[in-house]
Amino acid sequence: MIIVTGAAGFIGSCLIQRLNQDNFNYIIAVDDFSDEQKNKNLDGKKIQERVDREHFFEWLDANYQEVEFCFHIGARTDTTEFNIDIFNKLNLNYSKKIWKKCHDYQIPLVYASSAATYGLGEFGYDDNESLIPQLKPLNPYGESKNDFDIWALKQEEQPFFWAGLKFFNVYGPNEFHKGRMASVIWHTVNQIKNTGEMKLFRSHNEDYKDGEQMRDFIYVKDVVEVCIYLMHHRRNSGIYNLGSGKARTFLDLVKNTFKALDVPENISFIDTPEDIRDKYQYFTEANMSKLQSIGYDKNFTTLEEGVNDYVKNYLVAEKYY
């Protein structure tokens, strides 16, 4: 029995599909299942039971003896949300409770952290645990993720195996429900369908030309491969970066989207919204040596391959993974 929180979400649903591919079908899907658009991510997947996140701990107390692994992917992920109480409840305190239960019941745990913890990258993008208390996230979402990482590292009572994964810019299928928080690729395809062009954020940093802001984009299929690896590995507990290890520009991303659609490039620029302008990361790039040092040796999907697969096989086809 494998628990996946955030099961109906983007990464959680892709993880369930990947688990099903390896015949792990005894899945306990935990989420708030009130969003019908989001629930479509679970159509056709093999799941043993759906448990509302508000009732999950009661369920776990009654069923923990059957649980073999917990993937805690669920979180409030809106980087434009500034109500700290929401993040304290859903990201920080809920995660603490899962951690404690996984310790008490000896359930191995992988949880989702975020590259948003790195802020402007003042200390680089190395998953060095000694630096984590010094990081300066740019928004309450990043702060909530960093606060939990700091808390986890201080705990003397830990699950017998645990890993926190700092997801960088994840893109790929099953994000139809995410709206403003969906990947730039999703927005590009929709804008091209509606207007024939794509508007990118203008740079407000003199060190970067328009469209040359750089992020570490990682395909969701690579993310779930790492999750599967850690489920079997179950040693070397700690916090790990999870990106491709290669920063690319937003222009690279959008040009490859036009190419996958076989549509002529038509790119213009608009001002970055003021509510996120001073909290905008201009560069991220994961140092992936720590994960590789514990034996993970699969190659990461290139941006060109990932965008092509996502656009042609999921967005254009309107299919889920």
193 is in an annotated binding site: no
224 is in an annotated binding site: no
277 is in an annotated binding site: no
Report DSSP letters for 50-62, one per residue: EEEGGGHHHHHHH
31 is in an annotated binding site: yes
Asked if 185 and 171 count as a contact pair (C-beta separation under 8 A), the reply is yes
248 is in an annotated binding site: no
53 is in an annotated binding site: yes
Count other Cβ atoms within 10 Å, centred on residue 295.
Answer: 10
76 is in an annotated binding site: yes
75 is in an annotated binding site: yes
18 is in an annotated binding site: no
User: How many CA atoms within 13 Å lie on the side-chain side of 147?
Assistant: 18
First and final CA of the chain: distance in angstroms? 21
User: How many CA atoms within 13 Å lie on the side-chain side of 124?
Assistant: 10
250: burial class by Cβ within 10 Å (0-12, 13-18, 19+)?
buried
239 is in an annotated binding site: no
* Residue 141 annotated in active site: yes
Q: Which of 141, 171, 219, 321 is catalytic?
A: 141
178 is in an annotated binding site: yes
Best CA proximity match to 161, nearest among 236, 67, 72, 74: 236
199 is in an annotated binding site: no
Handedness of CA 11, 107, 43, 17 (dihedral sign): positive
Q: Which of 178, 199, 246, 259 is catalytic?
A: 178
168 is in an annotated binding site: no
Q: Give the integer Cα–Cα distance in Å for 132 and 264.
A: 44
203 is in an annotated binding site: yes
Strands (E), the chain: 2-5, 27-31, 49-52, 69-72, 109-114, 162-167, 169-171, 198-201, 214-215, 217-219, 238-242, 248-249, 267-270
Q: Give the integer Cα–Cα distance in Å for 195 and 102.
A: 49
234 is in an annotated binding site: no
* Residue 178 annotated in active site: yes
Asked if 70 and 103 count as a contact pair (C-beta separation under 8 A), the reply is no
Binding residue ranges: 10-11, 31-32, 38, 53, 73-77, 145, 169-170, 178, 180, 187, 201-204, 215, 280
Binding residue ranges for substrate: 169, 180, 187, 201-204, 215, 280
Binding residue ranges for NADP(+): 10-11, 31-32, 38, 53, 73-77, 145, 170, 178
Catalytically active residues are 141, 178
